[in-house]
Structure 1
Amino acid sequence: MKILVTGFDPFGGESLNPAWEAVKKIPDTIGGAEIKKVMIPTVFGKSAEVTEEAIKDFQPDYVLNIGQAGGRFELTPERVAINVDDARIPDNDENQPIDVAIQEDGEAAYFTQLPVKAMVTEMKKAGIPASVSNSAGTFVCNHIMYQIQYMIDKKYPEIKAGFMHVPFIPSQTVDKPGKPAMNLDDISAGITKAIEAIVAFDGKADLKAIGGTTH
């Protein structure tokens, strides 16, 4: 089995992105699966182009995109991506689409094929705070999750894919009082455990576990 794991470059004035910093630290083999790590730009459109080139080169069975969600306390596998770009801030190429469809002929939303509840369960067993998220936002994180699902829908039906957000690391919160943070080693360990769950649940249905929210 081969799994492509991507992490974004820094954005929004940050000097680093814990997504990529954590991805760099995960093992090259997890649960017997070969891991390829790629940094992608925090740029609408271009992020999907770079990821697709990696897909063509590596021909993975799974794609797991990782992104930063400053303000979240936990690692949060995403359940769904929606067909809209609505950027609160510009991306790294100064693009700021507002209420724009990602793909005119795409579905309104795509659900991940990853076992998100099993991923959360394994991370929690390892002592890593984790929960299922039902919104990937409307910035480049949702954009790349949607774009990969669109590619699966149109071109790569054999691939399964999904997205996971990770919190700030402590050095990023020095000037952000009250914002939660997580140690980089714990984030990396959480990603590793999530991938172990992906491997273990290959060809199986996700866990039937409580993971919903009331709001």
Structure 2
Amino acid sequence: MLEKTILVTGFGPFRDHDINASWQAVQLLDASDFAGYKLVKHEVPVTYDYIDKNIARLWEEHKPIFVLHVGLAEGVNVVRLESLARRKFYQKADASGALHPTEEVCPADKGPLVHIPQIDVGRIVGELDSDQLRFIESTEAGLYLCEYIFYTSMNIDNSRILFTHVPNVDEPYSVEELARGLTMIIHSALQQLEENENNNDK
């Protein structure tokens, strides 16, 4: 049986963002909000090389029951849940200035052109969206490190993984509000996973 570990990642600095709002929000997640689970938080450098060398290791090390990757979306004012990730067309330089040598997460024989999470993103948005904290579903994760890490994890296991984009802090939400939004997403996802497990046991 899988250990009940929740793995949440946020990204480190990139471009003119010396502090990344995604990691700020992840850092504020409180383990006491997830009784019965071990909460692991991990900061990911914004480089292709780090993701290639470490994401599979994190899955193997922690054997998470659920993974949430969090990234920063510039110019948005909502919490955005991504509903797909593409295998190729990664043409932007990462935070180290490096371009991806193949522009692909993996060769064609190692993964589909598009990965879709099995967790119902639309259901989560429907459950959580409110005037106090807006959530939307997105099919455009940006073809940068955010989408790259999402595809990488889904290529390991797409049944217990989500990716969420957050806006910059105070545009319009405080970091505390962003952390609350992430907490809500995790609880909603865990509920779906529990329901699926119960259905499989019947």
> TM-score, with normalisation over the residues of structure 1?
0.80
Moved more, 64-73 or 21-30: 21-30
Farther off after superposition, 126-135 or 37-46 = 126-135
The answer for the alignment partner of 1:145 in structure 2 is 150
Residue number in structure 2 paired with 1:135: 140
Aligned residue number for residue 57 of structure 1: 61
1:73-104 per-residue CA deviation (whole Å, 9 max, x = no partner) reads 1111110000114344x212211238722211
1:107 aligned partner: 112
The structure with the largest helix share of the pair is 2
Moved more, 143-152 or 49-58: 49-58
Unaligned runs of 5+ in 1: 154-158, 171-179, 206-215
Once the two structures are superposed, the pairs formed by residues 174-189 of structure 1 within 5 Å of their partners are 180-189=171-180
**1:134-153 Cα deviation digits (max 9, x unpaired):** 11111000100011111227
Paired AA for residue 35 in structure 1:
L
User: Which of the residues 54, 65, 81 maps onto 1:77?
Assistant: 81
Tell me the distance in 1 between the aligned counterparts of 2:19 and 2:85: 25
The verdict on how the C-alpha distance between 1:60 and 1:194 changes in structure 2, with shifts beyond 3 A counting, is same
Kindly report the root-mean-square deviation, in angstroms, between the aligned alpha carbons of the 2 structures. 2.1
Deviation at 1:48, TM superposition (A): 4.0
Q: What residue number does 2:7 align with?
A: 4
Aligned to 2:138, the other structure's residue is in SS state coil
CA–CA distance in structure 1, aligned partners of residues 172 and 52 of structure 2? 28
Report percent identity of matched pairs: 22
| 3-state SS of paired residue (1:94) | coil
Q: 1:165 to 1:47 in 2, by over 3 A?
A: same
- Please, which runs of 5 or more residues in structure 2 have no aligned partner? 197-202
Aligned residue-pair number:
190
State whether structure 2 residue 173 is matched by structure 1 residue 164. no
> 1:203: Cα distance to partner?
4.2
* Alignment match, 2:190: 199
Assess if the C-alpha contact under 8 Å between 1:87 and 1:98 holds in 2: no
What SS does the aligned partner of 1:39 have? Answer: strand
AA aligned to 1:195 is I
